[in-house]
Amino acid sequence: MSKHSTPGHSRPAPTKTQKFTIAGVATLGAAALAFSLVPGSADAGTQTQSLEAAPVAFKQNVDAQQAVHAGVIKQQTSADKQAKAAKDTADAKAKAAADAAAKKRADEEAAAKKKAEDERKAKEAASRAAARKPVYANNLDGWIRQSLDIMKSKGIPGSYEGLHRNIIRESAGDPNAKNGWDINAINGTPSVGLLQVIQPTFDAYHVEGTSTNIYDPVANITAAANYAADRYGSMDNVNGAY
């Protein structure tokens, strides 16, 4: 029976010699691989130490990286805290300044309001006082009554009757009356006005708030009443030259 080969390229079967050669190469390769994997006694200690030191070095490297990372985090945290503290301080100062400015404005507004209120009250009081202030007639009756009000406010005694009686006797009610013949006139200080007062006496007993003109009716009466109160207790006690 004839043999037929498989279509395509024909590959002859290896000979016995070729099989031996392939087996030898494989054996040698395995031996070389085994030799390379099993180190000799001279290098075994070094390689063992290297293998043992590798995890330690790796851990040290990791620890160093972690330490660096922790340091960076710590520095960042410290910087953040400092920035926050600085911001809080600035905010506190700004708030304090704003509060101070607001308080100053409030105080100024309150002071202005109080001033306006005080001025309003003062005007109202002045208006009420003006409304209550008596109007005196520009005659003997009015002069006496005005003098009596001033005397009352100053604590100077005297009555309408006492003033009127002495005025009529001394000057007949003439505010410009002047004595040019008595001893006072001879001495250069004539008696003048409603109650015939000499200038030194008028100056010594002048009542504050009245005119400094000796001929002014109210000023003349009030100064004379003040003098009579000092010398006689009251103008009411004077019934003649005084």
pTM over 0.75? The answer is no
Which CATH number fits the domain 140-237, given the four candidates 3.30.2130.10, 1.10.3210.10, 3.40.50.12660, 1.10.530.10?
A: 1.10.530.10
pLDDT (0 to 100) of residue 147:
98
Distances (CA, A) of 47 to 38, 42, 98, 101, 164: 11, 10, 75, 80, 145
Q: What pairs with residue 178 in β-bridges?
A: 192
- b/e burial code for range 58-81 (CB count within 10 A of at least 16 → b): eeeeeeeeeeeeeeeeeeeeeeee
pLDDT band at 135 (very low <50, low <70, confident <90, very high): very high
Give burial (CB, 10 Å; 0-12/13-18/19+) of 167.
buried
* Domain residue ranges in the chain: 67-133, 140-237
Stretch among 33-37, 148-152, 166-170, 182-186 having the lowest mean pLDDT: 33-37
pLDDT for 44 beyond 60:
no
Helices and strands per DSSP (H, E), number in the chain: 7, 0
pLDDT in tens, 52-86: 666 677 778 878 888 888 888 888 888 888 888 89
Q: Any idea which residue has 């990286």 for tokens?
A: 65
pLDDT band, residue 13 (cuts 50/70/90): low
Q: Ranked by mean pLDDT, which of 79-83, 98-102, 234-238 comes out on top?
A: 234-238
Higher pLDDT, 180 or 67: 180
Which of 93-97, 129-133, 196-200, 204-208 has the weakest average pLDDT?
Answer: 129-133
